[in-house]
Structure 1
Amino acid sequence: MAWLGPLLVAALAGAIRFWRLGSPRQIVFDETYYAKDAWSMLRLGYEGSWPDRKIADPQILAHPQVIPLSDGGSFVAHPPTGKWVIALGEGVFGLTPFGWRFMTALLGTVSVLMLCRIGRRLFRSTFLGCLAGALLAVDGLHVVMSRTALLDLVVMFFVLAAFGCLLVDRDRARARLAAALPAGPDGRIRPDGDTGDRAGTGARPWRLAAGLFLGLAASTKWNGLYFLVFFMVLTLLWDVGARRVAGARHPYRAVLRKDLVPSALSLAPVAVVTYLATWTGWFLSDDGWGRHWADGRGGTWSWIPAPLRSLWHYEYLVYQFNVGLHTPHKYQSNPWSWLVQGRPVLFSYTSPQPGEDGCYTATPCTRTVLALGTPLLWWAACFALVYLLHRWALRRDWRAGAVLCAVGAGYLPWFLYQDRTIFSFYAVAFVPYLCLAVTMMIGAMLGPPGATERRRRTGTVAAGVLVLLIAWNFVYFFPIYTGRTIPYAGWQARMWLDTWI
């Protein structure tokens, strides 16, 4: 069951995400940028130039397809990894809606499998692990982002992979410390000050792998850098805790001497090298935007190779663009509203007339793709986060701290950019940890193993009702996650809040 359950949950997630993936057959929201940049990178190794989107989009979807791509470099606002990922699907299936959405659907499916395994390791329960994965499988925002060629789902995947690697590293490092502890006269292993202070934890390949994945996340969108910083602090605290449990008299000093360089600080160099490696296509090009900016320029930093200085200049301009992005948008939102799904983003909306496109009513219908999390899941997550704060602050539950750290890394930094144009679908980066939070709350509802039969029965009923309501809620909103044609009255009935319209 350690793998069978997670695989079954992942199969369900895959069926949801790949079902009619090529529909709607149109460029949805910002796919107009990333689908074309991905195709350009596949052909040129960097982002080339396209004509105005009003011209290029119909040509891409036309039959026969016309692709007006030129090799002149184009200034873009995000690093290349996410577009390389999208390009993998286009390389196999072509520049079609199915092709540019294939990899996000695949990563969305695999992320459900990963969360099942991560939840199993975190809670030491296959059932709770599968429950966490199942909640992610039926989250509407995760489904919509898995079926759309945007970058945020790719960030979520790499960060989740890094989180899983760090959990494995934590368990293995603690096992090595435990193995180093001496046995007492009675043969029992006990904490030992000398061992806790001086024992090494050996090679940390899983932590290096986490650095690789965090580098890939940051080279997809820069908000991946916040996860790197938060996770570095988290792993340091884990190492301190491990030293303390092992009996170290000076756990912080022991970590600084034994664990800082080979473990926590190894994340940053690996991430930086990974980030630079993802720009290989741009480095090898002659026409990438700004590629030769530093050629022949002198100055204080002339000792640094010109390609690196050109990249630094490019990144500086990207930073200026991103922090200065204040163009009003109808669906932008303040991060205060994200957890309650106050302002979802409408990705696509059409109004088929009677007799058209599956509209079999006497009145017009709608086809909508709305980036909305499953409401009951997100509202339950608000209570779950409060519960985890209690567990972490008052019970020192490391599991609660780990989940809160990941949520904080994906959520809190956006409060620094409240004046910038930002959207609620950015929250997909921390959706898996909301599912872990709800799962941990449900585990508490079920009660401890030694609870009375009445307590267990009551907790089981309450937990079961919550899970069934979340599942029903997802099924109810499924048509507006996947662009199914429904009567206009059905669409109105699903607009529970005025801010969703």
Structure 2
Amino acid sequence: MTSALLSKYRDWVTALGIAIFALILRFWRLGSIKGFIFDEIYYAKDAHSLLQHGVEIDAITNEASFVVHPPIGKWIIAAGIKLFGFNEFGWRAGAAIIGTASVLLMYFTAKKLFNNYALSVGAALLISFDGLHLVHSRTALLDIFLMFFLQTTFFFLISARHWLTGISLGLALSTKWTGLYYMCAFLLFVLYVDYRSHKSAEDASPARKMIITNFPSRIFQYLILPILIYISSYVGWFINRNGWSRSWADEKDGTFTFIPAVFRSWWHYQFEILQFHTSLTDAHPYSANPWSWLILGRPTSFYYETGAACGAKECSQEVLALGTPLLWWAAAIALVVAIGMWIARREWKLGVLLLSVGAGYLPWFINQKRTTFYFYTLAFEPFLLLTLVYVAWVFLNSARDAKELSIRRYLLGIGLVIVALNFLYFLPLYLGISIPHASWATHMWFPSWI
């Protein structure tokens, strides 16, 4: 058996071992918290309606619901409901499976980037030790699906598998519009890579060669294909006349009457969604400005009750969408260091990681009045953690001798253990375990976490 084959087996055994650990955490008492948690009240009900009607119908009024996110994520929730029933376990199962798969993918993405077994293990463990990731893997919201499709997009991008990248982008876009930012960012990135490739080949006019040779296919792969997948995700809306605004254009005259009414109605629906997203300024007790996200300024409480027994006079049971604090603060510092590294040396791996963080983060600064939440960071969390791993990679590679390398490995190992302990400390708040109120209070490190 060749060393390459042995390495492949080792990778799969290790990655699956970490994934099994993640799977246990994600499925343990998954349906124990009864009722809808946070926005499950929308997405679980919408998913159930998709199973019944093919579109989102309000179960009480029996009329079309105005839904502001595309259907793919809700179809994954619906798959869990189909398998396990319309209950807490059923509508959360899809998120638990996808969350586990993302841990597995994290290992192989790190292996692709760094070709380092220890760092790949570290990357997979870091995301499995993160509280925000765990909470979303146990809740029927859309963000874990968006994150996973962006992960697959990134993996295919760095593997130069452009058609699969386009498909993944389409699935991300068909889950949440955040995918649009990544479409633009990755299209520009791959065109730049093509340009650099022609320049390295000493073509007389690399820009012209890129435009002639690569531009048409890249536009299709990174722009047209994702949009086609996005439109296709509304197939239930197209074939069912009960969807929101489905008949809007049926009896309307205008300049574009040569376009079938169903497509004009769909375009109107998309415009309504755009208006919602650009005008959402409602006050919310857990809204958080993007400036505070990386330092965990205002995490989102998904669930809080005081009645569950815990063996004490006063008990608190909470599901808090909070990243493991020491991990996130380390990643925030690493991000600053990484930006400095990239300015000093324009290395492509770091460049694409920073681009992936920026595509999911920077657009939220544009409209400071919009209602936003800390958990939107989940979309770019894998890339933020991989940036931390990149800094660790440089830290190891800059060791001057074997002894120094051994010391640095030891220090990184200690750091990983500290993150794991920090994760275990907050685990009751991630799993919704009832604990004494006094203990809960000690977990509220800042007033803004309450």
Tell me, in whole angstroms, the C-alpha distance in 2 between the residues paired with 1:162 and 1:493: 39
Could you say which residue in structure 2 is the equivalent of 1:318? Answer: 273
Q: State the shift of 1:299 in Å.
A: 1.3
Could you say which residue in structure 2 is the equivalent of 1:154? Answer: 145
State the TM-score, normalizing by the size of structure 1. Answer: 0.85
Could you say which residue in structure 2 is the equivalent of 1:465? Answer: 414
Q: Kindly indicate whether the alpha-carbon contact (under 8 Å) linking 1:120 and 1:127 is maintained by their aligned counterparts in 2.
A: no
> Kindly tell me: are residues 454 and 307 of structure 1, through their superposed partners in 2, closer, same or farther at Cα, counting changes over 3 Å?
same
> Kindly tell me: are residues 123 and 247 of structure 1, through their superposed partners in 2, closer, same or farther at Cα, counting changes over 3 Å?
farther
Aligned structure 1 segments of 4 or more residues deviating by more than 4 angstroms: none
Could you say which residue in structure 2 is the equivalent of 1:282? Answer: 237
Tell me, in whole angstroms, the C-alpha distance in 2 between the residues paired with 1:239 and 1:223: 25
Q: State the shift of 1:343 in Å.
A: 0.3
Out of 355, 376, 381, which is 1:431 matched to?
Answer: 381
Q: Which amino acid aligns with 1:359?
A: C
Q: State the shift of 1:253 in Å.
A: 2.4
SS in 1 for 2:159: helix
Could you say which residue in structure 2 is the equivalent of 1:415? Answer: 365
Q: Which amino acid aligns with 2:193?
A: W
Q: Which amino acid aligns with 1:87?
A: A
Out of 111, 118, 129, which is 2:109 matched to?
Answer: 118
Q: State the shift of 1:335 in Å.
A: 0.2
1:475 maps to 2:424: yes
Q: State the shift of 1:484 in Å.
A: 0.5
Tell me, in whole angstroms, the C-alpha distance in 2 between the residues paired with 1:110 and 1:251: 40
For residues 59-138 of structure 1, what are the structure 2 equivalents within 5 Å? 70=62, 72-138=63-129
Q: Kindly indicate whether the alpha-carbon contact (under 8 Å) linking 2:187 and 2:218 is maintained by their aligned counterparts in 1.
A: no
Larger Rg: 1
Q: State the shift of 1:333 in Å.
A: 0.7
Could you say which residue in structure 2 is the equivalent of 1:452? Answer: 401
Could you say which residue in structure 2 is the equivalent of 1:3? Answer: 12
Could you say which residue in structure 2 is the equivalent of 1:139? Answer: 130
For residues 6-405 of structure 1, what are the structure 2 equivalents within 5 Å? 6-51=15-60, 70=62, 72-169=63-160, 206-352=161-307, 357-361=308-312, 363-405=313-355
Deviations along 1:151-172, whole A, 9 cap, x unmatched?
Answer: 1111111111111111111xxx
Q: Kindly indicate whether the alpha-carbon contact (under 8 Å) linking 2:154 and 2:165 is maintained by their aligned counterparts in 1.
A: yes
Q: State the shift of 1:34 in Å.
A: 0.4
- Paired residues, number: 441
Give the stretch that moved more between structures: 3-12 or 282-291.
3-12
Q: State the shift of 1:265 in Å.
A: 4.3
Q: Which amino acid aligns with 1:213?
A: S
Tell me, in whole angstroms, the C-alpha distance in 1 between the residues paired with 2:168 and 2:385: 21
Deviations along 1:9-45, whole A, 9 cap, x unmatched?
Answer: 2111111111111121221001000000000001000
Q: State the shift of 1:368 in Å.
A: 0.5
Q: State the shift of 1:458 in Å.
A: 2.7
Tell me, in whole angstroms, the C-alpha distance in 2 between the residues paired with 1:331 and 1:148: 17
> Kindly tell me: are residues 237 and 130 of structure 1, through their superposed partners in 2, closer, same or farther at Cα, counting changes over 3 Å?
farther
**Which ranges in structure 1 are unaligned for 5 or more consecutive residues?**
52-68, 170-205
Q: Which amino acid aligns with 1:28?
A: I
Deviations along 1:307-328, whole A, 9 cap, x unmatched?
Answer: 1110111111111122111110
Once superposed, what is the RMSD of the aligned Cα atoms?
A: 1.4
Q: Which amino acid aligns with 1:101?
A: R
Q: State the shift of 1:224 in Å.
A: 1.2
Q: State the shift of 1:73 in Å.
A: 1.4
State the TM-score, normalizing by the size of structure 2. Answer: 0.95
Tell me, in whole angstroms, the C-alpha distance in 1 between the residues paired with 2:204 and 2:400: 37
Q: State the shift of 1:109 in Å.
A: 0.6
Q: Kindly indicate whether the alpha-carbon contact (under 8 Å) linking 2:18 and 2:124 is maintained by their aligned counterparts in 1.
A: yes
Tell me, in whole angstroms, the C-alpha distance in 1 between the residues paired with 2:55 and 2:443: 42
Tell me, in whole angstroms, the C-alpha distance in 2 between the residues paired with 1:495 and 1:444: 34
Could you say which residue in structure 1 is the equivalent of 2:5? Answer: none
SS in 2 for 1:261: helix
Q: Kindly indicate whether the alpha-carbon contact (under 8 Å) linking 1:232 and 1:264 is maintained by their aligned counterparts in 2.
A: yes
Q: Kindly indicate whether the alpha-carbon contact (under 8 Å) linking 1:445 and 1:463 is maintained by their aligned counterparts in 2.
A: no
Q: Kindly indicate whether the alpha-carbon contact (under 8 Å) linking 2:26 and 2:100 is maintained by their aligned counterparts in 1.
A: yes
1:490 maps to 2:439: yes
Q: State the shift of 1:393 in Å.
A: 1.8
Q: State the shift of 1:247 in Å.
A: 3.7
Could you say which residue in structure 2 is the equivalent of 1:406? Answer: 356
Deviations along 1:159-192, whole A, 9 cap, x unmatched?
Answer: 11111111111xxxxxxxxxxxxxxxxxxxxxxx
Q: State the shift of 1:251 in Å.
A: 2.7
Identity %: 42
> Kindly tell me: are residues 246 and 120 of structure 1, through their superposed partners in 2, closer, same or farther at Cα, counting changes over 3 Å?
farther
Deviations along 1:388-430, whole A, 9 cap, x unmatched?
Answer: 2123221111111111011001111111132111110111001
Q: Kindly indicate whether the alpha-carbon contact (under 8 Å) linking 1:388 and 1:401 is maintained by their aligned counterparts in 2.
A: no
Q: Kindly indicate whether the alpha-carbon contact (under 8 Å) linking 1:46 and 1:285 is maintained by their aligned counterparts in 2.
A: yes
Deviations along 1:271-296, whole A, 9 cap, x unmatched?
Answer: 11100100000000021111111113
Q: Kindly indicate whether the alpha-carbon contact (under 8 Å) linking 2:327 and 2:419 is maintained by their aligned counterparts in 1.
A: yes
Tell me, in whole angstroms, the C-alpha distance in 2 between the residues paired with 1:81 and 1:25: 25
**Which ranges in structure 2 are unaligned for 5 or more consecutive residues?**
1-9
Q: State the shift of 1:49 in Å.
A: 1.2
Could you say which residue in structure 2 is the equivalent of 1:198? Answer: none
Q: Kindly indicate whether the alpha-carbon contact (under 8 Å) linking 2:147 and 2:378 is maintained by their aligned counterparts in 1.
A: yes
Q: State the shift of 1:438 in Å.
A: 1.2
SS in 1 for 2:440: helix
Tell me, in whole angstroms, the C-alpha distance in 2 between the residues paired with 1:390 and 1:239: 25
Tell me, in whole angstroms, the C-alpha distance in 1 between the residues paired with 2:259 and 2:210: 34
Q: State the shift of 1:451 in Å.
A: 2.8
Tell me, in whole angstroms, the C-alpha distance in 1 between the residues paired with 2:119 and 2:192: 25
Q: State the shift of 1:264 in Å.
A: 4.8
Give the stretch that moved more between structures: 108-117 or 384-393.
384-393
